[in-house]
Amino acid sequence: MKQLYLGTNWKMYKTIRESEAFADRLRQSATSLPERFTIFIIPPFLSLPRVSGILSGTRIKVGAQNVHWEPHGAYTGEISPLMLKEIGIQIAEIGHSERRQYFSETDFTVNKKVLSCLKHGLIPLICIGEPMVEKTYGVERPYVLRQLRIALRDVSPEEVAKVILAYEPVWAIGESGVPAEPVYAESMHTWIRQGLSNEYGKEIAEAVPILYGGSVNRENAASFLLRKNIDGLFIGRAAWDVDAFLRIIHDTASLLQSS
């Protein structure tokens, strides 16, 4: 039975106090979380030290929403991988579509950040996915494969197994997003897995978790995880209430067990 991942990115939501309350509640429930799931949360930067401290010693991983590729330097407003490591952060989210759209993130800066994270012992969570226009014109597969190949340039076979991929079609995320049909998500995950296999071989490709993100909620979560090449879910606003997040975790575990 493969390990599955369930996580959420809070974006620019939750104050430090709200983040602490969420983390406290999650810690209280940590021992009852299904062992099959690796659970992670990605708060805003200001909340990271407190959330990391509260969840220290549990199986729940804490991530950052961005990271710079240099360990230090004159980069005003940036956060280095060494700074994240010092406060116990384990994951760095890289290349989210909002970072690409609003803050000039490119496939090439994603690659630099991936290499830096691996060098400094952080897990890169690499976001890839096509906008609606690429899907409309039928070029979503080469578009996503390009993102994947550039992101993983110079990543060794030994290192790529430490990477997590999140397939998040841009048209499926956000308040106006429409979730991809599970069969479509599965077809894209299969394509991504084949791209990994072509570069690193089948055995290594099978070891890389590929998560789906895009309007995931309590009602549709299990339908994605029942698909062979979907290894987890990257959940948005449906998981921003801690009790709702816990319900998704436990409901999904129960549905998978009965399937």
- Asked if 110 and 93 touch (Cβ cutoff 8 Å), the reply is no
* Of residues 114, 107, 109, 152, the one with CA closest to residue 129: 107
What span, in angstroms and rounded, lies between the C-alpha atoms of 129 and 141?
9
Q: Which residue among the candidates 68, 93, 96, 130 is catalytic per the annotation?
A: 96
- Asked if 92 and 66 touch (Cβ cutoff 8 Å), the reply is yes
Amino acid at 167: Y
Q: Which residue among the candidates 93, 134, 168, 186 is catalytic per the annotation?
A: 168
Helix axes 242-258, 16-28, angle to 10 degrees: 40
Asked if 120 is an active-site residue, the reply is no
What span, in angstroms and rounded, lies between the C-alpha atoms of 147 and 130?
9
Asked if 168 is an active-site residue, the reply is yes
Would you name the residues annotated as active-site residues?
96, 168
